[in-house]
Amino acid sequence: MRKPEASTGKNNTNKLRKGLWSPEEDEKLMNYMLNSGQGCWSDVARNAGLQRCGKSCRLRWINYLRPDLKRGAFSPQEEELIIHFHSLLGNRWSQIAARLPGRTDNEIKNFWNSTIKKRLKNISSNTSPNASESSYDPNKDPNNMGGFITSSTQDQNIDHFMPMFNTSSPSMQNTVLNTILEHGINMSSSIGGGFFNNATTGTYFSQNHDNKSFYLEKVFGSVNINGGEVEEMEMYNVPPLESVSVTSENNIKVENINALCNGKDTNNISSYHFDDINNNINVNNSCNGSDENRAHHEVENLFHEDLNVGDWDLEELMKDVSSFPFLDFSN
């Protein structure tokens, strides 16, 4: 905590205060906010009679004084949600906070850095003696935009699999994340694939080698790429930004999707590939018969629906969360 600066002396008339807020300052800000509402923060600071910068007032209000804030320790359910959302969103604390009513980004960030990070580290060091696996930090991976890999091992020989995707576009990120939430959790069919070597149950979001197309994979059980056996796996392509338009109703409408199947003679469809030049989805590595129909049907289903932005089904998320193996904090 920072020391509150002494509020005495002539300098104080011009100098803005820093450091801890006094109860009097809190009261002033609280009264002003409740009576007059937010407005411009520098005006708030001035009109409330506070010798603080607007930024400081904003922070104090958002992180501490807001009446809808939930105080106290995080519940186990909140912890699970934070871990789950962090696995999807990375360090986007404000977006995580938006999904946890009554909690602030600062609070969640502190909680993550002080408690959860440590806990996950302990768990991974207990379960994986291989330091190179357990030390993977998604936030340090330049290709990672926020995904999470539990204990999966990526096969270095497979160049078109990358652990996560890299984009700085917020709308792209929204598209991706909502696609995951809308489809990655609920869709139930299984398509053969082959990108993992001993991948672990979980939801993976991957980027194709062209750096523009993406696919989402849900893996159930282990996958042996060398033997070509796939136990349970789902793959869903996610279109690049160029194919997506956001409507005024806050829906994302995926347009210009034309699923194509090249129709060669292998049994497994290994990926859908989004062709961003022609705005087509191609089913790669060929397919035939029922696989072709199924692939076509699924791509149609996936991309011809409206994807809601911002409406998170917490019940569904919690179902998914409860299946994560790394959420057992009992040890």
Q: Which residues bind DNA (CB under 7 A)?
A: 1-3, 17-21, 39-42, 54-56, 58-60, 63-64, 91-95, 105-107, 109-111, 113-115, 118, 139, 168, 170
The amino acid occupying position 111 is: F
Select 139 or 211, whichever has its Cβ closest to DNA: 139
Place of tokens 């070597």: 197
By the 8 A CB rule, do 251 and 272 touch?
Answer: no
Residue length of the chain: 331
Cβ 84 to DNA, closest distance in Å? 16
Select 39 or 221, whichever has its Cβ closest to DNA: 39
Give the three-state DSSP class for 145.
coil
Beta strands in 104-212 (DSSP E): 153-154, 196-197, 202-207
By the 8 A CB rule, do 171 and 114 touch?
Answer: no
Select 25 or 298, whichever has its Cβ closest to DNA: 25
Select 18 or 209, whichever has its Cβ closest to DNA: 18
Select 55 or 209, whichever has its Cβ closest to DNA: 55
Cβ 328 to DNA, closest distance in Å? 19
Select 44 or 295, whichever has its Cβ closest to DNA: 44
Cβ 121 to DNA, closest distance in Å? 11
Cβ 315 to DNA, closest distance in Å? 25
Q: How many Cβ atoms from other residues are within 10 Å of residue 55's Cβ?
A: 12
Cβ 49 to DNA, closest distance in Å? 17
From residue 135, alpha-carbon distances to 51, 151, 211, 296 in Å are 46, 10, 25, 39
Q: How many Cβ atoms from other residues are within 10 Å of residue 182's Cβ?
A: 22
Cβ 212 to DNA, closest distance in Å? 19
Select 77 or 110, whichever has its Cβ closest to DNA: 110
Alpha-carbon Rg for the chain, nearest whole angstrom, is 24
For β-strands 259-261 and 280-284, DSSP reports them as parallel
Helix axes 314-322, 76-89, angle to 10 degrees: 90
> How far apart are the C-alpha atoms of 45 and 86, rounded to whole Å?
34
| Residue 237: partners with Cβ closer than 8 Å, 6 or more residues away | 213, 214, 215, 216, 271, 272, 273, 274, 281, 299, 302
Cβ 275 to DNA, closest distance in Å? 28
